[in-house]
Structure formats: C-alpha cells, structure tokens
Chains A and B, each alone.
Chain A
Amino acid sequence: MTVMEQRGAYRPSPPPAWQPRTDPAPLLPDAEPYRVLGTEAAAKADPELLRRLYGQLVLGRRYNTQATALTKQGRLAVYPSSTGQEACEVAAALALEDRDWLFPSYRDTLAAVARGVDPVQALTLLRGDWHTGYDPYEHRVAPLSTPLATQLPHAVGLAHAARLKGDDVVALAMVGDGGTSEGDFHEALNFAAVWQAPVVFLVQNNGFAISVPLAKQTAAPSLAHKAVGYGMPGRLVDGNDAAAVHEVLTDAVRHARAGGGPTLIEAVTYRIDAHTNADDATRYRGDAEVETWRAHDPVRLLERELTGRGLLDEDAVAAVREDAEAMAARLRERMNQDPALDPMDLFAHVYAEPTGQLREQQELLRAELAAEAEEGAAR
C-alpha cells in the first residue's frame, strides 16, 4: 500500500464519549438577588419569625454601635463592625439547629452572639485579653478567624467528619467578598463539592475588602456564579432583607442536611462603617454611595414591612428598643471592668504538656513578675 492509499484509508476514530459531569443550568444563581420584603413572598413569611428576626436585628444594630463606642473609649483594641450587615449575621445564627456549627470571620462576632455566645467572651479577641474568649464546643461556634478564608476548609472538614460519624450536622461558614479571592476559598468549595459535605458557604458581599472594591477582586458575573465551577448550586440574595437571607440559608441548610451537598450563597449587602475603627473610608468611597445604602437599611426594611402589615405596633417597637438598650448597658458595664490577666497563661496551652524549653521560660517570667511585684511594694 502506498502512503497515499494509507491516507485514504485513514478514518479518524470517534473520540471517547464526553458529556458534562453535571448539568450546569440548575446550579446557576438567579439573575437578581432574591427578595422577600416588599414583595408578594412576604405575605407567606411566618409573622412570628419576622418579629423574631426584627428583635434580633435591633439588638444586633445596638450591639454594633456599642462595640464601636467601646473602641473610642479604649475598651476594645479594634472592632470590625457589621453595621448594615445585621440581616446576614442574625439570619446565619437563626438558620442553624443547635447541633450545627458556625464558622465566623472576624466581622461576625454578632452572628456568634446571636447564636448564644456571651457578648463579652465574643469580644475577647478584639479587646485583646486573649484570642478566643469562648469555648467553641459550648455553642458550636468555631473561633473567629482572622486569616481570610482559612476557616472555610475547617467547616468542610468538620461537616465531613460529622457525616462519617453518622451525625446529621451542618456547618455554616462565613466569609467576605475579598476572601473569595483566597486560595482557601477555592480549595474549601472544591473539597466540599467532591465530598458532598453538608456545608453552606455564606459570602457577605459588602462591597469592599478594606478599600478594594469588588470590581478589582473578581471578573465573575457574580460571586454566586463561582459555585457552578465546583458543581454546587449558587444562590444570590439581598443581604439586607432578613427574611430573604433567612429563607435562602434555611433552604441550603435543609438541603445539606438531607445529603444534597454544599451551597454557595452570595448575600449582597454593604459595609456602612469603615473597615474598622482604625480605617478612614473617605479615602476610597463617597458619602453619596453610603447614603444610597442607608436607605436600604436592613432594620428599617423589616420594620417597614412589619408595621405596614400591622404585625408590629409602637409598643412592640419600644419594647424591642428597650431590650437593646438594656443589652448595651450590660455590655458597657461588663466591658468597663478591666479583664483579669494572668501572664503565666502564656505558657499554659501551647502544648498539652509544656516542653522543657517552655518550663524554663515560665520560670524566667515568674521571676520577672515577682521582681515587679517587689518593686511595686517597695514604691
């Protein structure tokens, strides 16, 4: 056979069959953030739940203003406020069952408090008397995580472990829009989807990562769209609509608990305050933008819905505000007491048993403290 003949005889074999591994269409988020308040869906919402959310929102707002005030009085080293984002914080806590786990970031002390963590213990990190002030196992709230997105794989691992043990526990992990650029975000979502772990990822897109706007963070159609690449559903929700966030989160938690795997939720919201009390937001954004978002305030949105439908009267509003003031007063009072510090704690929990090296250093500090005390007494 000549070469030409061979060529003529050549028939490409069909490539091995290819098909998409999952149909991407059902994973896609809606075109618009999901809303309940001010829409027909609101009529179907449970009035009791709405009132409960409202009470928590008012408390949450007051908690944020109080904590911010404590930074000015030098009682907190720093406070990353969630003012404007209370709907996400509160809904995250309320969407979970007692046995579930919450994985908060540094901005989510409010979610931890709404889940039951003692407010002073929740602020330990930001006061600076220790790192994590609460026992994570008491309310199943992981330590507030400062290294961005690093808490997300923890949530996946915990959810996976629970499933291996046969427990129907769901983990809810919180992260900011900037955090979605981190490698750990990618790795966590990928692991979660591959393992079909019962995890819900809640991204609070509050517009900024310190000073950097979302446009410099991603070119994705939305953060919720990122879900599709991992093979999990993405949901887009109005993060200032407490009823909507609660519904979307509850659905995702139920889906995860039933063995349906993870969900990525993008809650569109806005960081009303600066990044922290140490930040100057006027360097990177205008007042007009902030004002637009103030008009879409989560507390007022829900209040308007409830009063408009006669589900909340002036007395009820006054009672909720009174509760919030009482909470703030208690918090103020407790935070105005100096925390008890024991420098020897530095060595207590580095390892189960201190190493010989640590024991030597312990002795050094003990001697320094004794000398200090002696000096103090002599003075």
Chain B
Amino acid sequence: MTTVALKPATMAQALTRALRDALAADPSVHVMGEDVGTLGGVFRVTDGLAKEFGEDRCTDTPLAEAGILGTAVGMAMYGLRPVVEMQFDAFAYPAFEQLASHVAKMRNRTRGKMPLPITVRIPYGGGIGGVEHHSDSSEAYYMATPGLHVVTPATVADAYGLLRAAIASDDPVVFLEPKRLYWSKDSWNPDDPPAVEPIGRAVVRRTGRSATLITYGPSVPVCLEAAEAARAEGWDLEVVDLRSLVPFDDETVCASVRRTGRAVVVHESNGFGGPGGEIAARITERCFHHLEAPVLRVAGFDVPYPPPMLERHHLPGVDRILDAVARLQWEAES
C-alpha cells in the first residue's frame, strides 16, 4: 500500500501552485501585474514564478491597472492567456472600464470571433485589519457585468482547482481571492494537487435538515462555525458554498432549499444591491412553495467599508447569522 504524503498548505500556496502548474503546462499563459515579479506579489502568491519562468512570463508591469488589463486584452487577442493580478479589490477600479467595455464584451461584439481568455485575480474582502481601500467586497459590480465569470474559493483545494479552471477557460474570469483565507491551512498531497473541476458548480459543505446557509468565499468558514454553534439551539444547518457567482448554480442551491425549506444568504458585501438580493430572488422564484419563511440576508452594512478597529461590527459573524436563523418563522413548525 502506498502512503499518501499529506502536507499542510495555505490557500496562498495553493494559488501559487496553480499558477506554476498553469505556466508549466501552457506556454501561452502569462502572469502580469504590480510587484508580481521580483517581489512575488504583496501577498506572495506569485512567489518564485519570475525566477522559474522568466520575466516575460511573470512580468512586473508599470503601475496602472487599466493599462495592465488593457494590454492583457491585446495579448489575449494575439493568442496569449494572460493572468492579471490586481493588487487589492479597491485598486482594481481603474481597470473597470477595460473590464466592462472590452473584456466582458469582446466575444459577444465579435460574434465569437475574438474570445478573451483572461483571468483577473483580485484579493478581496475584509477581516485583515486593512486600512481604507484595502477591504472592499466588489463582487456585485462584476456579477452585474454580463460576459464575465465570477468565482471565489473558500478552501485550499478549491483555490487550486478553480484557478486552474479559470486559466483554462476560454472566457474571462474574475477570480476573487478572499484575503483573510490566504493563510488558512489544509492538508493536501503536493505530488497530486486536487482535480480541476469546471467552473459553475456550488458544493454542499455541510449537510443539514433545518435550514440552508448560502454563502461563498470568506464567509464560508463563518457559516460553518455558525452551523456548529446552531446545534446547541437544536438547528441542523446545511451550508452551501457557491464557489461560482457567475454562472450561478441554481440547481444545487434550490435542491438544498427544497430539502430544508428555509434559507439565509450570507456575505460580506453590502446587502443593498448586493449578491444576496439576487440569490434570494432566485430562490423565491424557483422554490416558493417549499419555503417556510422569507429568504433572509446577512450582509455587510450599507456603509463604506469601516476602519479596521470597527470592522468586526460590519462583518457578518456567527451571532448575526444565528439571529437570522432564529427569525425563520420556526413558530409555524410547532
């Protein structure tokens, strides 16, 4: 019997491994961004890649996000597969015009003649004590832009698998990396990294019968923790990790809600105009007759992201999630 040597790895290391494997597997893959070369990125996700593959494959660009994404568009037009790093969520905004007007639309406007296989990696979300402009949850902007795929991992294995799938995709993918999970650990076999699943499937992280928590990215561990705590209250919560916001896996979400009859959507992003509204609407449209209570949302407040000393009040935590679960009209049961 062969023993599989499992080793601990962080999400950041899994992402590095995914980039390295993609660079090695396909000469058209190019990594580019601010400080991604010599330094290895401010979160060290591109650590060692410039050394291993050369600066033409892992390039320190001038400091200009629109320019980075705009030149990546041209590179993709010529058959390359750029993987762009935006240094932080809020610093990706200068690139929004390129993203919305060209990256998202090029395949469509050229009737499929000019697809753009670009991956835009964006560290996002809060919880790391970052000062202003370092903690935005910007997923709603990208979700609202047809033509983009939007994915976000919550586990070490998914970080690897989803990033490989994003780079392999012939469509542009906004790859949102939950900053506060960069250092989260899991054990894996470095000789045999987890299989690459196609983008677009949610996964049930914890099965339960009482209600479903629907979440993604940085809020997945929080929901799992809430589900453990809920046992004391007699609730058996299911947790669905969406992994992909676009395409949206209605099937997995609805199957779960039909089973449990109750749902709470949890995310850091602001509630108003945020992903939760869309998700709640989709559930209501599809599973109305299975619902025992309105779909509730636990989201960040509708305020600009707070300063670090106040962010814990903003972020959805276990208590706020359990309070929402408590409001799911359990009285009707008895």
List residues of A whose CB falls within 8 A of some B CB.
130-132, 135-137, 142-143, 147, 150, 152-162, 164-165, 171, 183-184, 186-188, 190-191, 194, 345, 348-352, 355-357
- Pairwise interchain contact A355-B248, C-beta atoms closer than 8 A: yes
CA distance A231 to B102 in the complex (A): 28
Interface string of B73-85 (1 = CB under 8 A from A): 1111111101000
Residues of chain A contacted by B229 (CB below 8 angstroms) = none
CA distance A135 to B101 in the complex (A): 19
Q: How far is the CB of B296 from chain A (nearest CB, A)?
A: 23
Residues of chain A contacted by B307 (CB below 8 angstroms) = none
CA distance A349 to B94 in the complex (A): 26
Q: How far is the CB of B43 from chain A (nearest CB, A)?
A: 24
CA distance A158 to B72 in the complex (A): 8
- Pairwise interchain contact A191-B114, C-beta atoms closer than 8 A: no
The 4 tightest CB contacts between A and B, nearest first, are A157-B74, A153-B70, A187-B67, A157-B71
Knowing A136-B77, A154-B102 are in contact, say whether A187-B66 is a contact too (CB < 8 A): yes
Q: How far is the CB of A228 from chain B (nearest CB, A)?
A: 17
- Pairwise interchain contact A349-B107, C-beta atoms closer than 8 A: yes
For the complex with contacts A154-B71, A190-B64, A194-B62, 15 further pairs of A-B residues with Cβ separation under 8 Å are A131-B108, A137-B114, A143-B110, A153-B71, A157-B71, A158-B74, A159-B74, A160-B74, A160-B75, A165-B78, A183-B66, A348-B112, A350-B107, A351-B247, A352-B169
Q: Which chain A residue shows the least CB distance to B106?
A: A143
Taking a contact as CB atoms closer than 8 A, the residue among B56, B70, B146, B246 that contacts A150 in the complex is B70
Q: Which chain B residue shows the least CB distance to A352?
A: B170
CA distance A142 to B107 in the complex (A): 12
Taking a contact as CB atoms closer than 8 A, the residue among A130, A156, A158, A356 that contacts B111 in the complex is A130
List residues of B whose CB falls within 8 A of some A CB.
30, 56, 61-62, 64, 66-67, 69-80, 82, 94, 97-98, 101-102, 105-115, 146-147, 149, 169-171, 200, 246-251
- Pairwise interchain contact B106-A156, C-beta atoms closer than 8 A: no
CA distance A170 to B326 in the complex (A): 64
Q: Which chain A residue shows the least CB distance to B76?
A: A157
Residues of chain A contacted by B30 (CB below 8 angstroms) = 164
- Pairwise interchain contact B101-A132, C-beta atoms closer than 8 A: no
- Pairwise interchain contact A183-B94, C-beta atoms closer than 8 A: yes
- Pairwise interchain contact A153-B67, C-beta atoms closer than 8 A: yes
Residues of chain A contacted by B94 (CB below 8 angstroms) = 183
List 17 A-B pairs, Cβ < 8 Å: A131-B108, A136-B113, A153-B73, A154-B77, A156-B71, A157-B71, A157-B75, A161-B80, A165-B79, A183-B66, A187-B62, A188-B71, A191-B71, A349-B108, A350-B146, A356-B250, A357-B247
Q: How far is the CB of A188 from chain B (nearest CB, A)?
A: 7
- Pairwise interchain contact A161-B79, C-beta atoms closer than 8 A: yes
Residues of chain A contacted by B76 (CB below 8 angstroms) = 157
CA distance A130 to B71 in the complex (A): 25
